[in-house]
A = this chain, B = another copy of it.
Amino acid sequence: MARHKTYDCSAGCPVEATLDLIGGKWKGLILYHLLDGTLRFGALRKCIPGVTARMLTQQLRELEASGLVHRKVYAEVPPRVDYSLTALGESLREVVLSLKAWGEVYLGRGAQRPQRSALVR
């Protein structure tokens, strides 16, 4: 998010600090999908229906600036860019899984429609 110009608590509140990093509109999703491993830009886009290239790029750049995501550009034609979690991003695994676990119960089902992790890899 990285806003809160006049937000006294942000400097001292760990809950909001975390939410600022992963609470963006698409950040949680991106992080979640990257938990399964490296993904190309296009693959990530397919994982997140509804996101525009503009938004995905923007959110990825913010995640990169936060040090959560690593961006690797290949000097190829056609272009190829791989996104993966950094060690810091990886350290969010438990947090993201915690969000996921609660969400599954909240959505009223223990059995979630299979995600990429169950389909690929």
Copies in the complex: 2
Residues of chain B lying within 8 A (CB to CB) of residue A105: 91
Q: In the complex, A91→B102 CA distance in Å?
A: 8
Contact of A106 among B17, B23, B104, B112 (CB under 8 A): B17
Q: In the complex, A18→B32 CA distance in Å?
A: 13
**Contact of B49 with A9 in the complex, beta carbons under 8 Å:** yes
Interface presence of A65 (CB below 8 A): no
Residues of chain B lying within 8 A (CB to CB) of residue A14: 99-104, 106-107, 112
Interface presence of A36 (CB below 8 A): no
Query: Could you list 9 further interchain pairs (A-B, Cβ under 8 angstroms) beyond the known A14-B112, A15-B29, A95-B98?
Result: A4-B50, A14-B107, A16-B28, A17-B103, A17-B107, A18-B28, A19-B22, A95-B99, A95-B102
Q: A7-B50, A29-B9, A48-B9 are in contact. Are A19 and B15 (CB under 8 A)?
A: no
Interface presence of A76 (CB below 8 A): no
Q: In the complex, A6→B7 CA distance in Å?
A: 30
Interface presence of A92 (CB below 8 A): yes
